[in-house]
Chains A and B, each alone.
Chain A
């Protein structure tokens, strides 16, 4: 049985008195122990919503309206608040986008780390302190001992993200969800942090869900990719296959839009139009208004994710995609 198994997950937000709009419209996902999955999509595609749904932390008034999320056979959506707290930050950790704002500005690094540890383990202050320093060393923070008494604003962005990673690793989780962990960082630091996350996941056999809109990062780090569009998974498969021979026109468009795939001297490619807001989804396939291959069938029917991992009526043949 897979470690994490998500089936037909729907997240809905109320609109007006009776109506609801769906931010996630039936997402399936499986993750094995130690597996690294990339979740890619534009802003608003529902990537972060998926992460918060896994931890059962969808902000009010939103709710999981259908589906099931099983972690080691337990449905996380049915656990009591107390039990789910025992999983959050303990067996499943999360790393956020902006380390400038994810650490509490008025508490020292040490206070925040020890508090995390003590929320999940019955250990002495001294033992907690020792473990925290050990993890800070693990993420290559220089003079780890003295950083324990530092406040977040005394550290640089890169160091802060290392602290956040150290906090995520404190309880030796089985799964880390990283929500755009390098977006807010300097380009030179980005590669370092990504390499650190990859190394730590490999060494400790930790599974990773990497949420990003950077296909380049995903290609380097993950084994599988899931492409999301307007609250649905449109394509899913091994990283190499998807990068080399995308079948969904949207994935193909994203890859073509990468600057490194552009032809010198030509204008950079961009997918025409913008992703529709969840409040005004088109009929049929949500991508059809932007898709060059769309037909009447695309406008009428919603394509399901097929066994080959593509939700499209007119997928690209490998020969077309490779060009």
Chain B
């Protein structure tokens, strides 16, 4: 049995996990409170002035104290866009993982518990999905979506589309993890006992087996959030993700990329740093969770 109090204690005694957790907390708070904290609302055209464009960070010559990290080509403060953009990236990352989780857990439970041809069919489906690169799938889907609708419609539904596309493309990871856990659990006697009690298969799967497989699900969820954020950033960088007027971290990096050679490196640099830190923190936390929740790696002190 894993006690959550024990996990929390280990968290407090592990400097890497603490640091990663703290960084993540700061980034999440920054994103959630962006409308209150950000010096400027980058979505409000009234607050933008084209005369402020491409200003360097405040401590450089030519910098303005209103824009701590400088401005981009449209006169938006880089700090403000990062604050809002982190929120969009996190939202897409979490949303995609929820879609992956719902699909993957359902399919994994069914495949693992029912076995036989259902299992074979669903797992071959997962193999096919895995053999198609996520990025390729997403590019095709988003390019079609881009072509089918006008720019305004696209901008309105881009977040939902990204969540669905990344979610659908990555479900096999959840399905495989859940299935293998279910295979380990379903021959345990408490499952026999549940069947002997007369519970229907649906209740045994969701009520009895699933709670016992949540540990690995938690671990991959953390890592998959980071993965989804990376995929979204790649897509946005390719121009298939968030539109530039509602930028995520990826589209910020892209919008600044053209200006690197003209010397305005900060437009790309700061969002990129935030992206790297965010993904790194999530991955470190995921690795830590995997180690802590794996009883085979547990030290004797717990």
Residues of chain A whose beta carbon lies under 8 Å from any beta carbon of chain B: 55, 57, 60, 85-90, 93-94, 96-98, 101-107, 115-116, 119-120, 151, 153, 164, 167
Choice from A57, A60, A97, A106 contacting B196 with Cβ under 8 Å = A57
Q: A106-B211, A107-B208 are in contact. Are A101 and B188 (CB under 8 A)?
A: yes
Contact with A along B162-199 (1 / 0, CB 8 A): 00000000000000000000000000111011111111
- Which residues of A sit under 8 angstroms from B197, Cβ to Cβ? 88-89, 93, 115-116, 119, 167
Q: A115-B207, A151-B1 are in contact. Are A105 and B198 (CB under 8 A)?
A: no
A90 touches B198 (CB 8 A): yes
In whole Å, how far is A295's beta carbon from the nearest beta carbon of chain B? 42
Q: A85-B200, A115-B199 are in contact. Are A57 and B212 (CB under 8 A)?
A: no
- Which residues of B sit under 8 angstroms from A151, Cβ to Cβ? 1
- Which residues of A sit under 8 angstroms from B208, Cβ to Cβ? 104, 107
Q: In chain B, residues 44-91, which have Cβ atoms closer than 8 Å to a Cβ of chain A? A: none
Please name the 6 residue pairs, one residue from A and one from B, whose CB atoms are nearest each other, closest first.
A89-B197, A88-B198, A89-B198, A102-B193, A106-B211, A101-B189
CB-CB nearest in chain B for A92: B196
CB-CB nearest in chain A for B213: A106
- Which residues of A sit under 8 angstroms from B190, Cβ to Cβ? 101-105
In whole Å, how far is B203's beta carbon from the nearest beta carbon of chain A? 8
Once A and B bind, how many residue pairs between them come within 8 Å at the CB atom?
A: 68
A120 touches B1 (CB 8 A): no
Choice from B198, B203, B212 contacting A87 with Cβ under 8 Å = B198
The reply to whether the CB of B6 lies closer than 8 angstroms to some CB of chain A is no
Distance A101 CA – B194 CA, assembled complex (angstroms): 12
The reply to whether the CB of B115 lies closer than 8 angstroms to some CB of chain A is yes
In whole Å, how far is B147's beta carbon from the nearest beta carbon of chain A? 48
A-B contact pairs, 29 of them (CB 8 A): A55-B196, A57-B192, A57-B196, A85-B200, A87-B198, A88-B197, A88-B198, A89-B196, A89-B199, A90-B198, A93-B196, A94-B193, A96-B189, A96-B192, A98-B189, A101-B189, A102-B189, A102-B192, A104-B194, A104-B208, A104-B211, A107-B211, A115-B203, A116-B199, A119-B199, A119-B203, A151-B1, A153-B1, A164-B193
CB-CB nearest in chain B for A84: B198
A105 touches B1 (CB 8 A): yes
Choice from A60, A97, A120 contacting B198 with Cβ under 8 Å = A120
In whole Å, how far is A155's beta carbon from the nearest beta carbon of chain B? 12
Choice from A60, A104, A120 contacting B115 with Cβ under 8 Å = A60
CB-CB nearest in chain A for B188: A101
Distance A57 CA – B198 CA, assembled complex (angstroms): 10
In whole Å, how far is A118's beta carbon from the nearest beta carbon of chain B? 10
B212 touches A104 (CB 8 A): yes
- Which residues of B sit under 8 angstroms from A94, Cβ to Cβ? 193, 196
A119 touches B198 (CB 8 A): yes
CB-CB nearest in chain B for A55: B196
In whole Å, how far is B5's beta carbon from the nearest beta carbon of chain A? 14
- Which residues of B sit under 8 angstroms from A88, Cβ to Cβ? 195-198
A sample of 4 more A-B contacts (CB under 8 A), given A107-B208, A116-B199, is A93-B196, A103-B190, A105-B190, A115-B207
CB-CB nearest in chain A for B207: A115
CB-CB nearest in chain A for B210: A106
In whole Å, how far is A221's beta carbon from the nearest beta carbon of chain B? 21
Distance A115 CA – B197 CA, assembled complex (angstroms): 9
Distance A101 CA – B193 CA, assembled complex (angstroms): 9
In whole Å, how far is B237's beta carbon from the nearest beta carbon of chain A? 42
In whole Å, how far is A173's beta carbon from the nearest beta carbon of chain B? 11
